[in-house]
Amino acid sequence: MFRTLDLYRAISDLWPEIEFIFSFESTSAVRSLGINSLIKLSEAVRTMLKDFEDAVAGSLLRLLRSRRVADFSTDRVAGSCATLQT
């Protein structure tokens, strides 16, 4: 993801020079490719961030579920032992 962000930033930072160098009508396709590349890079970063967010949320949910099961089992075992002792 960081390489993609670096590439996006490099193209963005150089955009004024890219526009100047390719300012002729005959080179408008190059400018168009540059803009499309920036759009696709930004979409890729958004997708990567969303996937990362989903993975973290999924891991947290699994952890919480496993803790609930473990806590529930521990409580039941403790309750059963207390019942047996009385």
At 46-76, the pLDDT tens digits run 999 999 999 998 888 888 888 765 655 555 5
Average pLDDT over residues 74-81: 54
How many other C-beta atoms can be found within 10 angstroms of the C-beta atom of residue 21?
A: 12
Token representation of residue 6: 């670096």
pLDDT score at 76: 57
Own/partner long-range contacts of 10-19 (Cβ < 8 Å, ≥24 apart): 11/37, 11/38, 11/41, 12/38
**Mean predicted confidence (pLDDT) in 5-31:** 93
| Per-residue pLDDT reduced to its tens digit, 31-47 | 999 999 999 999 999 99
Domain ranges of the chain: 2-85
pLDDT in tens, 14-25: 999 999 999 999
Q: What gap in Å lies between CA 7 and CA 10, rounded to an integer?
A: 5
